[in-house]
């Protein structure tokens, strides 16, 4: 090679190197900017004009944009807690269960394709009482207050009406209190608060502003699920904080039916549902009558049977109706929310836990990652799919989460259920022709074939899963 060629070759190499460095620097800048924007959105620190939209379809899905931030936050807290006593609270199955729940919730929304939003838009277009400008500062700030005010009453109803509590209780079923619990949401609760929100905000607030601030309000509530922050001083008088929300999640007697606020705590102070965290008394988290399970679908639905059983136990139609709309602790002849002397005061209890072999934990985590990957692909492509196909995919995701939960619980027939799930996936891939379209499907299919072979051996007791001793 001549000196001329060596010179230009070296110069081209330096140019490529500088170009790569510039690209990396641009990528890092974009990531940092996006993280800052996400944190700002969590605390309502946003540019009002930038986040004001005229049409509902222009409102971004902020939750979907920030889901990676949630997982990084969970990882950061996990690594930080390893150095503290709080690490003892991170049971891996419980944390994975918490991350299951957003997949279930978003699956329901994919099936119904925003029916709640459509109804809100329809009511606002035909029955609104005020004509508020979509880009007005008054509209923006009224939406902040209005969304939080309605959230308070919807949230309160979900605790004080037995049927609604049956849907909301899954958010309280965790025996820990950390950031992951903020992701543990109900599939059916959105429909429970549907009428309440529509009857008020849809008559006044433009749909785009409602959708924007509804997301901000729920995004704010993610970070208050932590024990790492003790107090925020004077801000405790106005804002809902980790200190206030810890009380809300406790099943100690003084914690029950308290601190319903979303973004603001002032509603609880005004309407008499506020309780201060007590020094020297440990808060016990979870349900008063806890249901030991790591099965996300079971936890979403099991409490409905309690409502049915209570309805059947009543002797008059008046009491049967009351068993549905009065509080979970109500009994005939007692106050609507139940008598204080009839309620349990939980002071301490042992947490539910199951220990599985490391290989089984690894298997479940890998399959959960595949479920999440498949769901993300579905979320990106579902608008171009027919409703039946979307419904089928969501049902399979629910089956997958159920199977993973059964394995975490070490249930008796979990291996048969998991075998059927793996074979169903392989069968669908072979019949649908996906192997011709996606090379990644081939790898996933191989993984499921291997899993199927393993569970066949397990089903015929050639291999055994042996739980570790606690």
- Alpha carbon distance 173, 383 (integer Å): 33
129: Cβ–Cβ under 8 A, 6 or more apart, which residues?
203, 204
What pLDDT was estimated at residue 462?
61
Buried b (16+ CB within 10 A) or exposed e, 143-172: bbebbbbbbbbbbbbbbbbbbbbbbbbbbb
What pLDDT was estimated at residue 328?
95
What pLDDT was estimated at residue 327?
95
Angle between helices 414-432 and 387-408 (to 10 degrees): 150
- Residues 33-69: tens digit of each pLDDT: 777 777 888 888 899 999 999 998 898 878 766 665 6
335: Cβ–Cβ under 8 A, 6 or more apart, which residues?
none
What pLDDT was estimated at residue 420?
92
Q: What pTM was estimated for this model as a whole? A: 0.83
What pLDDT was estimated at residue 13?
46
| Cα-Cα-Cα-Cα dihedral sign, residues 449, 450, 451, 455 | positive
What pLDDT was estimated at residue 329?
94
Contact 342, 334 (CB under 8 A): yes
What pLDDT was estimated at residue 85?
47
| Residue numbers in the chain where pLDDT is lower than 50 | 2-8, 11, 13, 82-89, 107-108, 110-113, 469-470
What pLDDT was estimated at residue 37?
79
- Alpha carbon distance 317, 322 (integer Å): 8
99: Cβ–Cβ under 8 A, 6 or more apart, which residues?
71, 74, 180, 183, 368
What pLDDT was estimated at residue 136?
95
- Alpha carbon distance 60, 48 (integer Å): 14
């Amino acid at each position: 090679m001549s000196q001329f060629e060596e010179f230009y070759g070296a110069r081209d190499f330096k140019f490529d190197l500088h170009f790569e460095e510039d690209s990396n620097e641009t990528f890092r800048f974009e990531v940092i900017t996006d993280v800052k924007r996400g944190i700002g959105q969590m605390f309502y620190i946003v540019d009002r004009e930038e986040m004001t939209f005229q049409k509902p379809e222009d409102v971004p899905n902020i939750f979907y944009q920030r889901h990676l931030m949630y997982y990084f936050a969970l990882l950061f807290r996990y690594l930080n807690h390893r150095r503290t006593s709080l690490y003892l609270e991170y049971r891996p199955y419980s944390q994975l269960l918490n991350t299951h729940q957003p997949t279930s919730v978003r699956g329901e929304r994919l099936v119904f394709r925003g029916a709640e939003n459509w109804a809100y838009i329809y009511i606002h277009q035909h029955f609104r009482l005020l004509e508020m400008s979509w880009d007005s500062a008054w509209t923006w700030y009224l939406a902040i207050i209005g969304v939080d005010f309605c959230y308070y009453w919807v949230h309160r109803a979900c605790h004080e009406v037995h049927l609604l509590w049956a849907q909301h209780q899954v958010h309280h079923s965790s025996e820990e209190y950390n950031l992951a619990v903020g992701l543990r949401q109900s599939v059916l609760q959105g429909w429970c608060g549907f009428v309440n929100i529509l009857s008020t905000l849809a008559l006044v607030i433009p749909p785009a502003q409602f959708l924007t601030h509804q997301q901000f309000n729920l995004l704010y509530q993610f970070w208050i699920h932590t024990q790492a922050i003790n107090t925020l001083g004077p801000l405790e008088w106005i804002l809902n904080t980790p200190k206030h929300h810890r009380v809300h999640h406790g099943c100690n007697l003084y914690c029950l039916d308290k601190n319903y606020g979303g973004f603001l705590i002032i509603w609880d102070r005004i309407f008499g549902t506020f309780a201060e965290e007590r020094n020297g008394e440990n808060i016990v988290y979870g349900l008063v009558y806890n249901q030991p399970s790591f099965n996300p679908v079971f936890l979403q639905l099991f409490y409905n049977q309690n409502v049915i059983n209570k309805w059947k136990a009543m002797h008059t139609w008046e009491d049967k109706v009351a068993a549905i709309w009065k509080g979970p602790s109500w009994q005939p002849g007692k106050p609507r929310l139940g008598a204080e002397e009839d309620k349990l005061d939980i002071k301490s209890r042992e947490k539910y836990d199951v220990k599985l072999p490391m290989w089984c934990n690894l298997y479940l985590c890998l399959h959960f990652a595949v479920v999440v990957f498949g769901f993300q692909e579905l979320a990106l492509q579902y608008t171009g799919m027919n409703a039946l196909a979307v419904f089928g995919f969501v049902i399979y995701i629910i089956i997958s989460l159920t199977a993973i939960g059964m394995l975490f619980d070490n249930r008796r027939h979990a291996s048969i259920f998991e075998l059927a799930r793996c074979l169903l996936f392989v069968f669908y891939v072979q019949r649908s022709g996906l192997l011709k379209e996606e090379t990644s499907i081939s790898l996933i299919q191989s993984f499921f074939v291997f899993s199927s072979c393993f569970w066949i051996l397990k089903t015929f007791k050639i291999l055994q899963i042996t739980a570790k001793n606690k």
